[in-house]
């Protein structure tokens, strides 16, 4: 049986990181591996800038050249002298440059995918080339022929039946014996052969797609953390690793905002009962986190998820009428049109409250709501979710905080909180 490994941007951000990837792979003596790779380092962010500039008719050249130079710097450090891999990477950048010299179409999402996908394309070329140079049985794959999607650019949806056929055919055509396929995460293609992307941070999801199609034995996501932790170390001093959790728990944690795994990753793996391992590429000997169907250990360690920079908006009909289905339908339509995602909601007789990430669309939303509703809002709030809470964990997050809104279920406590200011009671 084969396994799937996924390496994200941080694990391939420079030449020494890529050498480390090769070492992690070499730990498997006789590999049957599919390796999914992201764009190197922050390449996707840089290519996004190129894409936006291109579509808006602004200068893209400097950002483009910076991305090209960064990849050639890595190549120069990986290989003693220019070889065929340099040529391949060069050709890719030339293709992208040709594209950028043409006039953009009116569809900015389409243009985005055609441009940003190059990050994964050149990353996989370099990694496949390096593994080959290390004597590993590596095969370069191209997701632009394997992962079939619809044409919903930037959030493309997978056509599972066609994708499964394409990927199985490709895998079965490989020679017997040890093999490593290196393929891009994040990208796919339409039936008309246009490149698509699956949404930011989508490479984890790609790993799950390949695993589902090839009935993999397991998926391992290699990260710069020792596994899934019970809180983000950015907000908490003494975090602990979650050694073993269920698919359900992992899904809940990512839904509430834990960023370790892309939320879409879990479903395909759960559906085929394929274990997901989160491991440290810095120290592969650390046991990491195992995510399986077993729910028996979910309750053992409480987890904390923080979302900062939240706005709590309370919406009240101006004419003192109840908030009923018709209002809610119109409200949801407005949220969805403006692309404002609701992190938490609650309603009472006269008001409907939501907690959302702050940003320009929210201010627009508030303006529009004010036509029909009395709107109050508090910004600079935090939304904290505690899974498997108890009084100790609540006390821990409420030090010097005040609570504006609270929701409890048996396993989950969610609170909108902010810093305690004596004059703001
Ligand atoms: N490179 C893409 C991104 O940065 C996909 C990924 O890394 O998962 O969003
Ligand atoms: Mg990533």
pLDDT given for residue 422 in this prediction: 66
**pLDDT tens per residue, range 210-237:** 999 999 999 999 999 899 999 988 888 8
234 to each of 237, 305, 356, how far by Cα in Å?
A: 8, 11, 21
Ligand with the closest atom to the CA of 202: 1
Residue whose CA is at the smallest distance from ligand 1 atom 8: 201
Mutate to test the pocket of ligand 1, among 201, 219, 224 (most ligand atoms within 8 A of CB): 201
Ligand 1: atom nearest CA of 39 is 1
CA of 424 to the centre of ligand 2 (A): 39
What pLDDT shows up at residue 303? 96
Ligand 2 centroid to Cα of residue 213, in Å, is 22
Residue among 37, 38, 42, 45 to mutate when testing ligand 1 (max atoms within 8 A of CB): 38
Mutate to test the pocket of ligand 1, among 143, 186, 259 (most ligand atoms within 8 A of CB): 186
Residue 302 has pLDDT above 70, yes or no: yes
Q: Residues near ligand 1 with C-beta < 6 Å?
A: 8-9, 38-39, 44, 119, 185-186, 200-203
What confidence score (pLDDT) does residue 259 get? 78
Mean pLDDT within 172-201: 97
- Nearest-atom index, ligand 1, CA of 45: 4
Residue 370 Cα to ligand 1 midpoint, Å, equals 37
What residues pack around ion ligand 2 (CB closer than 5 A)?
8, 201
Q: What is the pLDDT, as a whole number, of residue 425?
A: 47
**pLDDT, tens only, 344-398:** 999 888 889 999 999 999 999 999 999 999 999 999 999 999 999 999 999 999 9
At 165, the pLDDT band (50, 70, 90 cuts) reads very high
Q: Please give the number of the atom of ligand 1 that sits closest to the Cα of 9.
A: 7
| Per-residue pLDDT tens over the stretch 256-266 | 888 788 889 99
Which atom of ligand 1 sits closest to the CA of residue 205?
Answer: 8
CA-nearest residue, atom 3 of ligand 1: 201
Ligand 1 atom index nearest CA of 8: 7
Q: In which band, very low, low, confident or very high, does the pLDDT at 424 lie, cut at 50, 70 and 90?
A: low
Ligand found nearest the CA of 45: 1
For residue 211, report the distance from its CA to the centre of ligand 2, in Å.
Answer: 18
Q: How far is the CA of 62 from the centre of ligand 2 (A)?
A: 24
Q: How many A from CA of 201 to the centre of ligand 2? A: 5
The band of 423, judged by pLDDT with boundaries at 50, 70 and 90, is low
Classify residue 257 as left (phi > 0), alpha (psi -120 to 50) or beta. Answer: left
CA of 201 to the centre of ligand 1 (A): 4
Atom number of ligand 1 nearest to Cα 199: 9
d(CA 188, ligand 2 centre) in Å: 17
Atom of ligand 1 nearest to the CA of 42: 4
Q: Could you tell me the pTM of the whole model? A: 0.91
């Amino acid at each position: 049986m084969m396994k799937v490994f996924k390496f994200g941007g941080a694990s391939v951000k420079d030449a020494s990181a890529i050498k480390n990837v090769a070492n992690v792979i070499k730990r498997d003596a006789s590999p049957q591996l599919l390796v999914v790779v992201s764009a190197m380092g922050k390449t996707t962010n840089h290519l996004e800038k190129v894409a936006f500039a291109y579509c808006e008719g602004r200068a893209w050249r400097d950002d483009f050249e910076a991305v090209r130079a960064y990849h050639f710097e890595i190549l120069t450090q990986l290989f003693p002298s220019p070889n065929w891999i340099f040529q391949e990477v060069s050709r890719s950048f030339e293709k992208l440059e040709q594209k950028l010299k043409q006039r953009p179409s009116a569809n900015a999402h389409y243009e985005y995918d055609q441009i940003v996908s190059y990050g994964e394309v050149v990353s996989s070329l370099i990694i496949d080339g390096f593994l080959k140079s290390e004597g590993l049985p590596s095969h370069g794959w191209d997701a632009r022929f394997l992962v079939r999607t619809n044409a919903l650019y930037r959030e493309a949806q997978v056509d599972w039946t066609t994708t499964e056929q394409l990927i199985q055919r490709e895998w079965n055509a490989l020679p017997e014996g040890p093999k490593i396929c290196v393929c891009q995460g994040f990208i796919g293609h339409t039936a008309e052969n246009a490149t698509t992307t699956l949404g930011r941070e989508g490479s984890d999801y790609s790993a799950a797609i390949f695993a589902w199609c090839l009935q993999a034995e397991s998926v391992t996501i290699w990260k710069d953390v020792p596994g899934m932790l019970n809180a983000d170390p950015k907000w908490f001093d003494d975090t602990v690793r979650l050694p073993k959790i269920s698919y359900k728990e992992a899904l809940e944690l990512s839904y509430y905002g834990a960023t370790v795994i892309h939320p879409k990753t879990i479903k395909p793996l759960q559906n085929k009962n394929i274990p997901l391992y989160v491991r440290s590429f810095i120290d592969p000997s650390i046991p990491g986190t195992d995510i399986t169907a077993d729910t028996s250990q979910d309750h053992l360690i409480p987890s904390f998820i923080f979302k900062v920079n939240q706005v709590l908006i309370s919406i009240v009909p101006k004419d003192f009428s109840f908030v009923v289905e018709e209002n809610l339908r119109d409200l949801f339509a407005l949220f969805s049109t403006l692309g404002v995602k609701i992190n938490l909601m609650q309603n009472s007789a006269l008001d409907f409250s939501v907690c959302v990430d702050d940003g320009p669309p929210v201010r627009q939303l508030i303006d529009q709501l004010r036509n029909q509703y009395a709107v109050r809002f508090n910004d600079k709030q935090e939304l904290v979710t505690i899974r498997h809470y108890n009084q100790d964990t609540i006390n821990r997050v409420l030090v010097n905080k005040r609570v504006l809104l609270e929701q409890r279920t048996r396993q989950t406590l969610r609170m909108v909180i902010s810093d305690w200011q004596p004059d703001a009671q």
